[in-house]
Chains A and B, each alone.
Chain A
Amino acid sequence: MNSVPVFAFTCPVKTNSGNKALEHLPVELAGLNACRPLIITSAKAVGRKAVRTLQNAFGDSGMTLGLFDGVTKTADLGLIEHLKNICLEKKYDAIIALGGYDIVDAAKVLNLAVSLDTADAHKLSPETPVRRHLSPLVVVPTAAASGLETSKFAHFSRRIYSSEYLAPNLVVIDPRLTRAADGKTIAATGLAALGRAAESHISADANPFRDAYSFAAIRFVKENLPAAVIKPADKKASLAILNAASMSGCAASDANSARLHKLGQVFYEMQHIPQGVIMGMCLPHVLGDYLQEGINDLASLLLPLVGEDEFSRTPAAKRADAALAVLGRFLADLYGALGKDLPRNLREAGVPGYIMEDILDVLDKDNEGPYLRTVVERIAE
Chain B
Amino acid sequence: MSIVKDIPSAKKPLKRAYVGIFLWFTGRAIQAAAKVDKEVKKEFDNLPDDFTFSLGCLPNGPWMVIGKRNGAVKYLGGNPSQHKVHVRLAIKSVDAAFLILSFQESTALATARNRLITDGEVPYALAVIRILDIVEVYLLPKIIAGLAVKRYPKQWSAGRKLGGRIGIYARTILGI
Contact = CB atoms under 8 A, between A and B. Distances in A.
B95 to A, nearest CB: 4
A60 interface: yes
B4 A61 contact: no
A218 to B, nearest CB: 25
Interface stretch (A82-90, A116-124, A195-203, A332-340): A82-90
Nearest to A35: B59
Contact of B4 (A23, A56, A66): A66
Contacts of A65: 6-9
A199 B94 CA distance: 42
Interface in B50-89: 58-60
Q: How large is the interface on A (under 10, 10 to 19, 20 to 34, 35 or more residues)?
A: 20 to 34
B4 A67 contact: yes
Nearest to A65: B7
B5 A60 contact: no
A343 interface: no
B11 A83 contact: no
A106 B6 CA distance: 20
Interface stretch (A24-32, A153-161, A302-310): A24-32
B3 interface: yes
Contacts of B11: 59-60
B3 A60 contact: no
A70 interface: yes
Nearest to B105: A19
Contacts of A86: 2-4
A80 interface: no
A23 B105 CA distance: 16
Contacts of B113: 18
B16 interface: yes
Nearest to B10: A59
B93 interface: yes
B9 A55 contact: yes
Nearest to A82: B3
B9 A24 contact: no
A64 interface: yes
Contacts of A19: 99
Given A59-B11, A60-B9, A30 B59 contact: yes
Contact of A66 (B5, B60, B95): B5
A330 interface: no
A339 B5 CA distance: 42
A379 interface: no
A58 interface: yes
A56 B11 CA distance: 8
A349 B77 CA distance: 65
Given A20-B96, A24-B93, A58 B3 contact: no
B92 interface: yes
Q: Does more than half of chain B's interface fall in helix, strand or loop, or is it mixed?
A: loop
Given A18-B113, A27-B59, A90-B4, A63 B99 contact: no
B93 A64 contact: no
A353 interface: no
Given A30-B59, A62-B60, A86-B2, A23 B7 contact: no
A64 B4 contact: no
A14 to B, nearest CB: 11
B59 A23 contact: no
A170 interface: no
A20 B95 CA distance: 7
B12 interface: yes
A18 B114 CA distance: 11
Given A27-B59, A68-B3, A63 B93 contact: no
A38 interface: yes
Given A18-B113, A60-B60, A62-B60, A90 B99 contact: no
Contacts of A27: 58-59, 92-93
Interface in A7-66: 18-20, 23-24, 26-27, 30, 38, 55-66
B6 A83 contact: no
Contacts of B3: 68, 70, 82-83, 86
Contacts of A60: 9-12, 16, 59-60, 93-94
Contacts of A57: 95
B8 A26 contact: no
A381 B6 CA distance: 50
A184 B2 CA distance: 36
A354 B6 CA distance: 44
Contacts of B2: 86
17 contacts: A19-B99, A20-B93, A23-B93, A24-B92, A24-B115, A26-B58, A27-B92, A55-B9, A59-B10, A59-B94, A60-B12, A60-B59, A62-B9, A64-B7, A64-B9, A67-B5, A82-B3
Interface of B: 2-12, 16, 58-60, 92-96, 99, 113, 115
Given A23-B96, A82-B3, A83-B4, 12 more contacts: A20-B96, A23-B93, A23-B95, A38-B4, A59-B10, A60-B10, A60-B93, A61-B60, A63-B9, A65-B9, A67-B7, A90-B4
